[in-house]
């Protein structure tokens, strides 16, 4: 069992001095940063094929020389102050490296293998599971550094860089000999699961390919690496890919490891497996791994129904394409899936980059959707390295506009991926956000001025998706107001179950079910310039649920209609940020409803305040110091309502939830949301003054 030891109960140990801030965050945490030489996680993969391009940039592009100078300075500090950090011990689960109290990602400090800090309240945690997860992060950092130093050795000839990398390879050979550490892991992976093995093996293949042919990497060392690392590890990768029956983010990474290691070792069978396996190969990932609408069309969103795993899958897929694109030889005669052409491959990868960009708000904040990521942290700019690679490989005006947005706030092009993969320059014109429907992803975005709302539909959640159908979100003036809270690490299971459940979403529950059984889903939208309206219908054998949104800043207007053959308990839920004041409690009603459950996911709704009404109620939330939300809610049936404190992600990012409950076989609910900075205009319930235009 994990030992959770607070600072006060431990031996007094002075915490290490904080690391100096640099540029690149660890994507799941805004607090953990490191030098450019450490590169970014999740990684993208590349090797010596980029050398000539980097040399050309260093000769002709000023910003590239600036990055190069920074990398060399940081690398010299690394080789003079530390050894490659590959401690021999069991490797743990990345998801264990989260605070059990705040659900913040713990801060990673390479000098502190036994104390892990919650950035929210500076609590120290110790324990076996945290330590094993720390080993994973430490190893991954070292392997990324090894590739950077191998690149710099090829560019500068400085032997100290090569010596550090060779030292790291020797330690890696020792690590991969520890077969007892595979026991109990998924398909006996060394690094906890095949996904982590695949990332590390790809980085190692990149590193060795960069060193190959140099005095630092003689044939004897290459043979030791082949026998001690790749021959030890690749059978487990192949075993995994053979047992995975559907496209999956893990499979994308295993494809990358098979390709990069296969090219390094001249194993054509591994390369062909990576590309053409009829279920798990790269081309089948692109043919079958993207969500499709009812007509079989794609809009670029990964089928696992989550923003984080969408980007997670993009990284290896785009890396594989980068290898195939070298010299224009993208296909060596293998059989592509039916309907997939080489131009379609490029189109699908470009759409995988454009789909999230079309979801971003005016501050480039992304709706989390599904597992992993926090609403105020997940931004398009966190994936600048991916867009650098995409713009460099795929080109096109649309990706240039996305790049302009990422760097439009003055952020310098300072990443390793910009030097190795990015275009020489980016245009300055930033695309204006517009309303858009993504039918395969089952989501529509309504935009006007500084307001953005979304409405989400879809079948039963897939993969890492949440029970968020019929849910909606709202951001205004750069602030999230209503949103999917995503999840933290999976180790905190009760909290993760809440984050995934229907009750945590801005949607409707039927008979207090934690999950949504959906037989059919229909998403429609009307997006002319003057009116932005979207509607959804969900139905199954229990009920038919309809929702329509209209964005008319500073108002967001909502109409719901629920029907069922028998009377059902319908619970309308919203979860705005901040504290709430019941401004108008309505006229009390005499109704009898089953109590809202207290157990399971409902336990996270705390400090409940109850009321009933036959008339509209009004609630005000203080979102920030200067921004408020007013909501008027009306139902055609007497209703009960509950105000309750609920956790955000991280948990201390508090919400106050409003639940409106009624029981009938025909229910209509209307709500008007007003975001205001000083005084609201909706002094009374607006009644029928905001009719929704019919959706064709």
Q: Which residues pair with 473 in a beta bridge?
A: 454
Q: What is the DSSP string of 39-68?
A: --SS-----GGGHHHHHHHHHH-HHHHHHH
CA 380 to chain centroid:
10
Tokens linked to 152: 């710099």
User: Which residue, 374, 285, 34, 316, is CA-closest to 196?
Assistant: 316
> What is the model's pLDDT at position 694?
59
Least confident of 416-420, 462-466, 605-609: 462-466
Least confident of 453-462, 616-625, 664-673, 683-692: 683-692
CATH of domain 436-676: 2.70.98.70
SS (HEC) of 540-586: CCCCEEEEEEEEECCEEEEEEEEEEEEEEEEEEEECCECEEEEEECC
Angle among Cα 398, 403, 409 to the nearest 5 degrees reads: 135
What average pLDDT does range 518-529 have in this prediction?
75
**pLDDT > 90 fraction of the chain, expressed in percent and rounded:** 77
Which residues does 255 contact at the CB level (< 8 Å), separation at least 6? 241, 274, 275, 277, 280, 281, 282, 285, 316, 320
For residues 341 and 331, what is the distance between their CA atoms, to the nearest angstrom? Answer: 10
Q: Please provide the average confidence, as pLDDT, over all residues in the chain.
A: 91
Residue with tokens 């429907």: 437
- Residue 629's Cβ-count burial label (10 Å; 0-12, 13-18, 19+) is buried
- 460 pLDDT band (50/70/90 cuts)? confident
Q: What is the DSSP string of 283-326?
A: HHHHHHSEEE-TTS-EEEEETT--HHHHHHHHHHHHHHHHHHHG
- 692 pLDDT band (50/70/90 cuts)? low
- 19 pLDDT band (50/70/90 cuts)? very low
> What is the model's pLDDT at position 330?
53
Q: Which residues pair with 676 in a beta bridge?
A: 628
- 13 pLDDT band (50/70/90 cuts)? very low
User: Do residues 259 and 323 make contact, with C-beta atoms less than 8 angstroms apart?
Assistant: yes
Does 7 score more than 90 pLDDT? no
The sign of the torsion formed by the CA atoms of 61, 66, 70, 72 equals: positive
> What is the model's pLDDT at position 648?
96
Which residues does 170 contact at the CB level (< 8 Å), separation at least 6? none
Q: What are the respective helix, strand and coil percentages of the chain, to the nearest 5?
A: 35, 20, 40
What average pLDDT does range 532-559 have in this prediction?
91
> What is the model's pLDDT at position 9?
34
Whether the pTM exceeds 0.85: the reply is yes
Which residues does 419 contact at the CB level (< 8 Å), separation at least 6? 54, 57, 64, 67, 68, 71
Task: Please report, for the chain, the start and end positions of each structural domain, with discontinuous segments joined by +.
Answer: 436-676
Q: CA gyration radius for the chain?
A: 26
> What is the model's pLDDT at position 690?
61
> What is the model's pLDDT at position 337?
83
Residue 332 neighbours by CB distance under 10 Å? 11
> What is the model's pLDDT at position 571?
97
Helical pair 159-176 and 128-156, crossing angle rounded to 10 deg: 140
The sign of the torsion formed by the CA atoms of 407, 411, 415, 420 equals: positive
- Residue 566's Cβ-count burial label (10 Å; 0-12, 13-18, 19+) is exposed
> What is the model's pLDDT at position 687?
79
For residues 690 and 696, what is the distance between their CA atoms, to the nearest angstrom? Answer: 18
For residues 449 and 434, what is the distance between their CA atoms, to the nearest angstrom? Answer: 9
What average pLDDT does range 53-59 have in this prediction?
97
> What is the model's pLDDT at position 6?
32
For residues 175 and 526, what is the distance between their CA atoms, to the nearest angstrom? Answer: 58
- Residue 3's Cβ-count burial label (10 Å; 0-12, 13-18, 19+) is exposed
Tokens linked to 244: 């995975």
Residue 238, SS3 per DSSP: helix
User: Do residues 437 and 523 make contact, with C-beta atoms less than 8 angstroms apart?
Assistant: yes
- 695 pLDDT band (50/70/90 cuts)? low
> What is the model's pLDDT at position 528?
59
What average pLDDT does range 335-354 have in this prediction?
91
- Residue 160's Cβ-count burial label (10 Å; 0-12, 13-18, 19+) is middle
- 2 pLDDT band (50/70/90 cuts)? very low
> What is the model's pLDDT at position 24?
58
Residue 128, SS3 per DSSP: helix
Least confident of 338-342, 567-571, 587-591: 338-342
For residues 335 and 323, what is the distance between their CA atoms, to the nearest angstrom? Answer: 18
Does 32 score more than 80 pLDDT? no
- 12 pLDDT band (50/70/90 cuts)? very low
Q: What is the DSSP string of 592-639?
A: --PPPP-SGGGGG-EEEEEEEESS-EEEEEEEETTEEEEEEEEESS-E
Does 468 score more than 90 pLDDT? yes
């Amino acid at each position: 069992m994990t030992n959770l030891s607070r600072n006060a109960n431990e031996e007094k140990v002075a915490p290490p001095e904080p690391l100096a801030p640099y540029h690149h965050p660890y994507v799941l945490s805004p607090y953990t940063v490191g030098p450019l030489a450490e590169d970014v996680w999740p990684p993208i993969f590349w090797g010596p094929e980029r050398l000539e391009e980097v040399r050309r940039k260093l000769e002709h592009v000023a910003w590239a020389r600036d990055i190069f100078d920074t990398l060399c300075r940081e690398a010299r500090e690394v080789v003079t102050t530390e050894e490659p950090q590959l401690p021999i011990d069991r490797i743990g689960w990345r998801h264990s490296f989260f605070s059990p109290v705040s659900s913040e990602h713990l801060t990673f400090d390479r000098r502190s293998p036994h104390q892990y800090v919650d950035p929210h309240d500076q609590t120290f945690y110790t324990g076996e599971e945290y330590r094993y997860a720390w080993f994973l992060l430490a190893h991954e950092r070292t392997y990324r550094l090894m590739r950077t130093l191998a690149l710099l050795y090829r560019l500068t000839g400085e032997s100290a860089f090569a010596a550090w990398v060779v030292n790291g390879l020797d330690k890696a050979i020792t690590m991969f000999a520890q077969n007892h550490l595979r026991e109990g892991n998924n398909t006996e992976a060394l690094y906890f699961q095949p996904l982590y093995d695949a990332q590390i093996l790809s980085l190692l293949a990149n590193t060795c390919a960069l060193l190959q042919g140099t005095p630092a990497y003689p044939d004897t060392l290459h043979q030791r690496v082949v026998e001690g690392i790749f021959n030890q590890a690749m059978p487990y990768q192949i075993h995994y890919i053979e047992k995975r029956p559907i496209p999956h983010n893990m499979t994308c990474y295993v494809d990358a490891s098979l390709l990069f290691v296969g090219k390094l070792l001249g194993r054509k069978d591994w390369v062909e497996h990576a590309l053409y396996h009829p279920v798990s190969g790269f081309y089948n990932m692109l043919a079958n791994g993207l969500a499709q609408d009812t007509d079989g069309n794609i809009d670029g969103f990964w089928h696992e129904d989550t923003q984080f795993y969408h980007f997670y899958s993009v990284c290896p897929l785009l890396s594989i394409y980068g290898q195939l694109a070298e010299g224009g030889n993208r296909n060596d005669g293998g059989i592509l899936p039916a309907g997939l052409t080489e131009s379609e491959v490029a189109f699908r990868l470009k759409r995988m980059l454009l789909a999230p960009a079309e979801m971003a708000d005016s501050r480039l904040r992304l709706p989390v959707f599904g597992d992993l990521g926090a609403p105020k942290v997940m931004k398009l700019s966190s994936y600048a390295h991916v867009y650098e690679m995409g713009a460099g490989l795929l080109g096109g005006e649309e990706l240039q506009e996305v790049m302009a947005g990422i760097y439009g706030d003055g952020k310098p092009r300072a990443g390793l991926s910009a030097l190795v993969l990015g275009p020489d320059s980016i245009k300055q014109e930033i695309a204006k956000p517009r309303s858009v429907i993504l039918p395969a992803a089952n989501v529509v975005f309504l935009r006007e001025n500084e307001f953005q709302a979304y409405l989400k539909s879809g079948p039963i959640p897939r993969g890492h998706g949440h029970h968020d159908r019929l849910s909606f979100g709202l951001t205004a003036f750069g602030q999230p107001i209503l949103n999917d809270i995503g999840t933290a690490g999976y180790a905190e299971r009760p909290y993760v179950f809440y984050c995934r459940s229907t009750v945590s979403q801005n949607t409707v529950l039927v008979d207090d079910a934690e999950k949504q059984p959906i037989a059919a889903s229909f998403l429609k939208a009307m997006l002319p310039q003057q009116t932005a309206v979207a509607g959804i219908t969900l139905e199954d054998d229990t009920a038919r649920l309809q929702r329509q949104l209209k964005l008319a800043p500073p108002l967001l207007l909502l109409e719901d209609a629920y029907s069922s053959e028998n009377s059902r308990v319908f619970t309308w839920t919203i979860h705005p940020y901040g504290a709430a004041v019941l401004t108008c409690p309505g006229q009390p009603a005499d109704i009898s409803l089953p109590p809202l459950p207290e157990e399971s996911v409902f336990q996270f709704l705390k400090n409940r305040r109850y009321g009933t009404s036959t008339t509209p109620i009004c609630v005000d939330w203080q979102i920030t110091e200067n921004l408020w939300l007013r909501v008027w809610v009306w139902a055609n049936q007497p209703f009960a309502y509950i105000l309750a404190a609920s956790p955000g992600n991280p948990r201390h990012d508090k919400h106050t939830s409003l639940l409106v409950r009624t029981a009938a076989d025909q229910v209509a609910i209307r709500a008007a949301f007003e975001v205001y900075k000083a005084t609201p205009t909706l002094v009374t319930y607006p009644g029928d003054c905001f009719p929704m235009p019919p959706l064709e």
